[in-house]
Amino acid sequence: MSVTWGGAALQEVVDIKATAGGSLPIGRDSTFALDGGTIEIVCLHTANISLAERGLKKTLAFSGGGVDLSVKAVLQTLAVSGKVNDVARYTATYKLVFE
């Protein structure tokens, strides 16, 4: 499975966790209509994103295995755990946004 955020590939994805969100009142003048929940992606090697991108909204895309899915997502957190056998684990958490 290939995962990209704003065109930048998250390499060696080892885990994807999704948490469902709840709906919010939809107003005619609101930019963000629904809470789509969050997606946590764990990868080895590198996440190819910077902490400076936290809060930015880009397209999060999944493809492979007969699946093609894309959704707008805001980067919430990026964490790096300690290296084991010279391999670090990167965890990126995205908030799904429906406009």
Query: How high is the pLDDT of residue 26?
Result: 60
Strand order in the sheet with 67-80: 8-10, 2-5, 57-64, 67-80, 90-98, 34-43, 13-19
2-98 in CATH: which number? 2.40.10
Percent composition of the chain: helix, strand, coil (DSSP 3-state, to 5): 5, 60, 40
- Tell me which residue has tokens 């910077």: 50
Average pLDDT over residues 12-36: 73
- pLDDT class for 87, splitting at 50, 70, 90? confident
Domain ranges across the chain = 2-98
Q: In this predicted model, what pLDDT tens digit does every residue of 35-86 receive, in sequence order?
A: 789 999 999 877 788 889 999 999 999 999 899 999 999 999 999 987 778 8
pTM: 0.81
